[in-house]
Structure 1
Amino acid sequence: MPIERDLRGYGRARPDIIWPNGARVAVSLVVNFEEGAELAVEQDDAETERYGEVASTSPPGVRDFVQEQVFDYGMRAGLWRFLDAFADANVRSTFMMCGRAVERVPDLARAAIEAGHEPAVHGWRWLPHALYGNAETERRDIERTRDVIAHATGVTPVGFMSRGSQSPWTRDLLTDLGFAYDSNALDDDLPYWSRSPRGSMLILPYGFDTNDMKFFHPNGFVQPEDFSDYVGAAFATLIEEAERGRSAMLTVGLHLRICGRPARFRAVKAILAELARLQGRVWIATRAEIAAHFRAVAR
């Protein structure tokens, strides 16, 4: 059954959520672990992924080493910057992992999870799940991704988010497979329940505005301060609203190949410093932790 579009949401009757540390604002740091799962002639795809530092200049069927290396940087160098900075700041994040990426570098996936971060399913390949033509193939790839991550890291993921749009049946598949939450949503500031005849799925909204992918947009972020100041403004607004009794969660989306670069990583450091300054006024948590708390208090 297609997902019914809901333009009303909670309206004025928003749940009164107090997160475990007493704050009203939950912050989810999400790192996308997808390098090596993108479209590439090297992987026998017909063409190369065109979304990157620069657009691919290779025609379909011609291998693009430049675009591959833009992605490779994230695993080779960016990952370690993130892990070191998170360890220094004593924060944990959620790593959205593509199955094919984990399959290629299982030791790197394991290093991220052994550092205390949460693994979540980000699709087998870095492709929209709306491209699946049938539920059976999509289910098989979700299961395969979950199993590869579990085998590599020792932790079975309970969360899901695909690139771009999901299919009309993705949420029902996640319900059937026992996932704790789905993050393919951009439509609220709080988790909410999506209900269907197959059951209920907890939705943890994501955000494309507080996301470093806008460094790759022509009209997006340029200087590191563009990103960190924007995220800081989001923190400030939600905290002001929290003082009036409004609860929220905010996602900060990060990519190994984007903010893993030295100049842009200054934005990550600034965001972590601001979160440290806001200690007690926000709750920094993995998505699994946010889902578990919301499930317990807002069934």
Structure 2
Amino acid sequence: MIVVTGASGQLGRLVVSALLKKVPTNEIAVVVRSPEKVADLAALGVQVRQGDYNQPESLVAAFQGADKLLLISANEIGRRFEQHSAAIAAAKQAGVGLLVYTSLLRADTSPLPLCVEHAQTEAVLRTAGIPFVILRNGWYTENYLASVGSALQLGAVFGSAGDGRIASAACVDYAEAAVAVLTQENHSGKVYELAGDESYSLAEFAAEIALHSGKNITYQNLPEADFKTALLGAGLPEWLATLLSESDVGASKGGLFDDSHQLSQLIGRPTTSWKAMVEKAVKA
């Protein structure tokens, strides 16, 4: 039995979709806070179990019978270490055979503040006595595609990444990597640094938008505080504006770059082209 947490989210849904192509439906279970959000999966025959990172007692039952468990990191920044620790404890109590955790690229050395809770979680996982695999996911290309619309309106991509190179990959690439680990053997104990095959600066990202739109699009590098203010002005919530501005500064220090190609090796194909994704977003 393969159990997937966070299955109603973007990554979780892609993981389940890919699993359904490789594993019998009755061998897949999903754990979600609100089962009604995955009624479509239940209709396909996937087991739906209610579980909440903030209610550890619910997780022990939700993880029962899991030969392999995909623990997709929670999204409540500042509470994630507590939530992940509870989930790991529940997994041990439930007798989970292998725990696969989605961490952050080079979580042990990353300049991104986002890494702290991931590094703390990894430390707990290493001492929990459960066989584990750590998938250190890099940036989703979709994170920057969200700025295409405003770039077309304002004639600029704004950020704080300087000349930092970003080796992002599509969310579906990371989902396929998780599925590879969940459906193959001999991954236990491994830590994978996952990132896109190609990298770009935000100036190159802006140039790609310009290429496909025929408009003059530039990159405007801002101080972190100014970029955060711009994001708040665009209607983003405080936590997300903080995350994006801090992460951009981390990118300027090399935090979103990796050229080991471990992701494409794991999924058995090149990672999805960021240029193709930009073109599709511009023409959407």
Query: The TM-score by the shorter chain falls in which range?
Result: 0.3 to 0.5
Bigger helix fraction = 2
* Larger RCO (CA under 8 A, 6+ residues apart): 1
TM-score (norm 2): 0.34
TM-score (norm 1): 0.32
